[in-house]
Structure 1
Amino acid sequence: MTARVDHLVTSGTFSLDGGTWEVDNNVWIVGDDEEAIVVDAAHDADAILAALGGRALRAIVCTHAHNDHIDAAPALAEATGAPVLLHPDDLPLWKQTHPGRAPDGELADGQTLTVAGTRLTVLHTPGHAPGAVCLHAPELVTVLTGDTLFQGGPGATGRSFSDFPTIVDSIRERLLTLPPETLVRPGHGETTTIGVEAPHLQEWIDRGH
């Protein structure tokens, strides 16, 4: 059976540097009717379990460790036995949310995850967070970008652990080199494509997010 990308929106809060904001997060489920991986277990483990519908969960992949992307990861792991995977550069952020519970495994640039016969390649894209990653699934014409690239520009870089020149370099070198028809499925908001976003790189730099 061909793999697909299912989409769930969950709601909660994002907290960093002493502030807290209400947020809606995209949870992406990649797989078929038998097995899946979850990208960013945000806010509501029960809702994610319901969306899985009994499929075997092979991994819980964290695009980065801001609390709104990982707050439900331990509960989902406990319910399913799936490992939580995170790039080690984001461990300092992870520990702010889950000080007593380490991730189960590491993500590395160039690593390949396979689910339902479909390969997802890990792209290390620091900037929004030091260990931010994107997942490129060429067979699905999709890149899951977390908070690195959105419809309309880069992720925010105004808080701790983030850097604007770094995120621009990541987007330029790792994402805008993908085929223009590639769907960009971000951590918040609407889906876009590489071809739609690529022409605006200089505008983003001039705005200096």
Structure 2
Amino acid sequence: MTYTGRVAVGGPPDVHELAGLLISKVAVGPMENNAYLLRCRATGEQLLIDAAADPDTLLRLIGPDGLATVVTTHRHGDHWQALEDVVAATGATTLAGRHDAPGIPVPTDRLLDDGDTVTVGRCDLVARHLVGHTEGSVVLVYDDPRGHPHAFVGDCLFPGGVGNTRGDAEAFHSLLHDVETKLFAALPDETWIYPGHGADTSLGAERPHLPEWRERGW
């Protein structure tokens, strides 16, 4: 079946099948967060991005093969409500951005800095530190050697704009700068964007609108 990236709370996951990686996207409540389970096709090792809510849903998605790693994209509470339960059930190693980890109540085993590599089986993802939505948000980029890049962006980028900066002009300009330099300038239009809420997009779909975002200030 063709992956669409459209999921709903209580509904089934949608699976994006890449040559080396399976990406399962599921929506969890009550704030309709997206969680992403990455599975290395060569080794079966699994990594979860944002144990946001509904631990039973996430543990069913993980299944009997276990979970090696869980990455929290940023410190906002709607992205880690199920983290304690998932870690207790799986023993997964926890990762988060260095500057946001103190705001996550579950201890972080590994602090992420810009450029760090995160592995799932034989697949490597690169962490990018973006400042604005929070001080320590991290994006994970998987540069598929047999295709185009895939970026898991938390709440830093959505269809139609960057993440919420709560009317703080300095935070907005910081986030827009980091999105432009670390995503749009570094990656091709084909890059698939997996946000923390709602539908997926691509850098190519959003790139023409960067001047509009800068002008409106959000």
Q: TM-score range with shorter-chain normalisation?
A: 0.7 to 0.9
Q: 8 Å contact 2:40–2:123 — kept in the other structure? A: no
Structure 2 spans left out of the alignment, 5+ residues: 1-18
Select 1:184's aligned residue among 190, 193, 199.
193
Aligned AA for 2:109? D
Map of 2:28 onto structure 1: 10
4+ residue segments displaced more than 6 Å: none
1:163 aligns with 2:171: yes
Aligned AA (2:78): D
Between stretches 187-196 and 55-64, larger displacement belongs to 55-64
* Distance in 2 (alpha carbons) for counterparts of 1:133 and 1:91: 11
What CA deviation, in whole Å up to 9, does each residue of 1:2-44 have, x standing for no partner? 21211110002xxxxxxxxxx1000011114622100010111
Deviation at 1:92, TM superposition (A): 4.5
Q: 1:89 is paired with a residue of what secondary structure?
A: coil
Q: Which residue of 2 aligns with 1:78?
A: 88
1:137 aligned residue: 142
Provide the C-alpha distance between the structure 1 equivalents of 2:178 and 2:64, rounded to a whole number of angstroms: 36
Q: Structure 1 length as normaliser, TM-score?
A: 0.87
How far apart are residue 54 of structure 1 and its match? 1.6
Q: What is the Cα deviation at residue 57 of structure 1?
A: 1.0
How is 1:36-47 mapped onto 2 (pairs within 5 angstroms)? 36-47=46-57
Alpha-carbon distance in structure 1 between the residues aligned to 2:40 and 2:122: 9
Q: CA deviation at 1:205?
A: 1.0
Which residue pairs with 1:208 in the alignment? 217
* Residue 86 of structure 1: how far off its partner (Å): 1.1
Which stretches in structure 1 are left out of the alignment for 5+ residues? 13-22
Q: What TM-score, normalized by structure 2, do the two folds share?
A: 0.84
Q: How does 1:38-187 map to 2 (within 5 A)?
A: 38-94=48-104, 98=105, 101-139=106-144, 141-158=149-166, 163-177=171-185, 178-187=187-196
SS in 2 for 1:130: coil
Q: What is the CA-CA distance between 1:83 and the residue it aligns to?
A: 1.4
